[in-house]
Chain A
């Protein structure tokens, strides 16, 4: 996480989506996900429409499909749940390939799979095109309470400090010829966790006081005039509006 700019899911290159201000992307993703979730699960065609919309977004964001697919495996536990549902569900059952499957369970499985996948893909696209710094700036511009953005800013900075200090302590322990890996050596791990916390805190406290001394007042400086323009809002609104139109057509049809 180089200086808090990138994060593991960020795809560092330039595209129209990368250049859009974060606040419009957050709102568009939220609205799109809400439309997906409230769509009745039997409207299969609507979900195909949403998937097509996301394909459009992928093309615009120039995100390699394989890159996206690899990261979408985060959803796997819920896919497993979806597979279990037809067997565990109640109600009317059908026989398929000699297995007795619950119809409600099948619908439930489809529901979780479709809505979960579309939601994860939308979130991944937001993460891929937005740096941590921009996301916090976007939340700040959306009038998110300052306490949140302040805690989140520190959290993202501290994650690096924690990882760094943990690595340093491990190297120090190994270089002294100690490598605890058995249960009866758990005390070394436990002491390490406590020490890691204190060390990171004291390092972070120094950083914080240095920030305060340089005029930090709970909010990072915003670049002047870089907020979203009406054109940005209109452009990003096409995704949720198109999704809403698909939902409306599917429900009315």
Chain B
């Protein structure tokens, strides 16, 4: 394994702020466990595992932003579209916990910070956008793909700004926050575009071949026109 650490390490943000965010993350995850249990049926359980594995794989792609601060794909929006907000947040946090324990990526004491940024704020922003956009856009594979793209870009940038807020609250060294905020936002717009393309392509294929697996389309199933369940030869127009 020749990967590099991507998540916040021990000692970047001070102990008090880390503890506060650990409490926030624990409380929010408790709600997700409670709400997610009802969602996790025979179809969603293997899907949740696959989404987590997929996110794990795409998080391996990461880009240097500043010395010591790298950006990477988050995968929260993909999770939200395929397994819903509660299980989605659980998937991303599972990835973060396993990365921390088995791959030494992200500090154990910074786990609360990392979960808050990527699993909670990232997925929540993604979910709100997906829910809102799907009201306007057609409930077709193409509509879902556009939704996934836009939601990915915005949620990745918002999640990156959470790091800046945490650093402002408890950074162990005084740095120019405007610079950090600007660099993080700029880099994450680019990362968001990359992530958006991957999410859009994946979601469009799933919506075309197995529309029953797309959680975000469940609400519209009765009203939406039946999506042809024939595997299309190519994913057109999204990449």
Residues of A within 8 A of B (CB): 7-9, 26, 29-30, 33-34, 36-38, 41, 71, 73-85, 88-91, 104-105, 107-109, 111-112, 114-116, 118-120, 122-124, 126-127, 130, 132, 135, 145, 147-148, 150-159, 161-162, 186-187, 189-191, 193-195, 197-198, 200-201, 204-205, 207-209, 212, 218
Contact = CB atoms under 8 A, between A and B. Distances in A.
Given A127-B104, A158-B53, A104 B173 contact: yes
Contact of A150 (B45, B100, B173): B45
Nearest to B67: A80
13 contacts: A26-B101, A38-B15, A78-B12, A80-B67, A119-B109, A150-B40, A151-B48, A151-B87, A151-B94, A154-B50, A162-B57, A187-B239, A189-B239
Given A119-B9, A154-B45, A127 B67 contact: no
Contacts of A132: 102
B205 A197 contact: yes
Nearest to B78: A197
A91 B174 CA distance: 8
Contacts of B53: 154-156, 158-159, 161-162, 200
B42 A33 contact: no
Nearest to B6: A77
Contacts of B5: 74-78, 120
Nearest to A209: B42
Interface in B185-225: 197-198, 201-202, 204-206, 209-210, 213
- Please name the 5 residue pairs, one residue from A and one from B, whose CB atoms are nearest each other, closest first: A81-B68, A154-B49, A194-B205, A108-B173, A115-B11
A120 B9 contact: yes
Given A154-B49, A159-B56, A112 B104 contact: no
A147 B174 CA distance: 40
Nearest to B233: A191
A156 B98 contact: yes
Nearest to B36: A147
A37 B22 CA distance: 14
B106 to A, nearest CB: 9
B56 A155 contact: yes
Nearest to A25: B101
Interface of B: 1, 3-6, 9-12, 15, 18, 33, 36-37, 40, 42-43, 45-50, 52-54, 56-57, 64, 66-70, 87, 90-91, 93-95, 97-98, 100-105, 107-109, 172-176, 197-198, 201-202, 204-206, 209-210, 213, 234-235, 238-239
Nearest to B13: A37
A90 B177 CA distance: 12
* Best-surrounded residue of B37, B104, B174, B205 (most CB of chain A within 10 A): B104
A148 to B, nearest CB: 6
Contact of A82 (B68, B100, B209): B68
A122 B11 CA distance: 14
B104 A124 contact: yes
* Best-surrounded residue of A7, A107, A119, A132 (most CB of chain B within 10 A): A119
Contacts of B98: 152, 155-156
A36 B9 CA distance: 13
A189 B61 CA distance: 15
B86 to A, nearest CB: 9
A198 B209 contact: yes
Contact of B52 (A81, A114, A158, A200): A158
Nearest to A149: B94
* Best-surrounded residue of B36, B40, B101, B210 (most CB of chain A within 10 A): B101
A83 B52 contact: no
Contacts of A78: 5, 9, 12, 68
B202 A194 contact: yes
B57 A88 contact: no
A88 B179 CA distance: 11
Contact of B235 (A85, A130, A155, A191): A191
Given A75-B5, A111-B173, A33 B109 contact: yes
B176 A88 contact: yes
Nearest to B197: A190
Contacts of A111: 11, 172-173
* Best-surrounded residue of A76, A118, A191, A212 (most CB of chain B within 10 A): A191
